[in-house]
Amino acid sequence: MRLPNTAHSSLPWRIHDLTPDFRLEDVWALPTPGGPDDLTRLVRQMTSGSGRFSGATRPLFALRWKLGALLGWDRPGSGLGARVQTLRDRLPADLRAAPPGPGFRALPLTPVYLTDREWAAEVANRTVHAVMHIGWVPDWCGGYRGQMAVLVKPNGLFGKVYMAAIRPLRHLIVDPALMRMIGRAWRVPAEGQQAG
C-alpha cells in the first residue's frame, strides 16, 4: 500500500542526514508482518533474489535493460564511484565501521548501511542516483512491518524527464508487483516454519 511521504519523512531515520539533496519519490508499506527484530530477515529476503516478477513487469524490466544498453545509460563510468560518489562516503564513523549488509544477487543495487531499524542500498547510472530505504516500523496491529522509501536525485533535465516518464509505470505496475512479490516471499518461510 502506498503511504503519504510523511510516513517516511516524519521518522528519525539516519538516511535523512545522508540525502538532503535527494527527493523522496514515494513510500510503501510492505506486506511483511513480523516481530521487532525481523528487519535482518527482510533484508536477506530482498537481496537473495527470492521471488520473481511476473505479468507485465518482466517485459518492462527487459525493455529498460535493452534501452539502457542501447543508449549507454548503464555503462561503466556512469554509476557509483565514477559519475557520483557513493553515499558510503557520507556515512558517519559508526555506520562506516559497521558492515553495510548483504549485497543483491539479481539487482544492480549496492548496500550503504544496515542498523537494527533501517537499511539502505543505492544505484546510479546516467539517468539518476537512487536510494532504496527499508525501515522496520510498528504496524497498526501491535506488531511490526517493513516500509520502503525511494529517494532520487535525477541527473539533469534528462533524468527529470526520465523519472517523470516512468512514474506512472512504477506506480501502476512495477511497485504493486514488487509489493505482491515481497509479500509472497515473506509468507513462504513463515508457512514453512509453522508446518515444520
Q: Please report the pLDDT score of residue 87 as a whole number.
A: 96
How much is the pTM? 0.88
Non-local CB neighbours of 24 within 8 Å, separated by 6+ positions:
5, 8, 9, 149, 150, 151
Domain membership of residue 195 (yes or no) is no
Domain membership of residue 171 (yes or no) is yes
Phi first, then psi, for residue 80 (nearest 5°) are -65, 140
Residue 98 has pLDDT above 50, yes or no: yes
Domain membership of residue 19 (yes or no) is yes
Domain membership of residue 48 (yes or no) is yes
> What is the percentage of the chain residues whose pLDDT exceeds 70?
90
- Alpha helices of 49-174 — where are they, by DSSP H? 57-71, 93-97, 156-169
Domain membership of residue 192 (yes or no) is no
Non-local CB neighbours of 93 within 8 Å, separated by 6+ positions:
none
Question: CA-CA distance, 185 to 164, in Å (whole number)?
Answer: 30
Count, residues in the chain: 196
Q: Please report the pLDDT score of residue 196 as a whole number.
A: 38
Domain membership of residue 117 (yes or no) is yes
Asked whether 27 and 149 are in contact (CB, 8 A), the reply is: yes
Domain membership of residue 36 (yes or no) is yes
pLDDT in tens, 24-81: 999 999 999 999 999 999 999 989 876 566 666 667 767 776 777 777 777 777 778 8
Domain membership of residue 191 (yes or no) is no
Per DSSP, the three-state class of 25 is strand
Average pLDDT over residues 93-97: 95
Confidence bin at 173 (pLDDT 50/70/90): confident
Asked whether 117 and 147 are in contact (CB, 8 A), the reply is: no
Domain limits at 134? Answer: 2-185
Cell of 149: 522509501
Task: Give how many domains the chain has, as a whole number.
Answer: 1
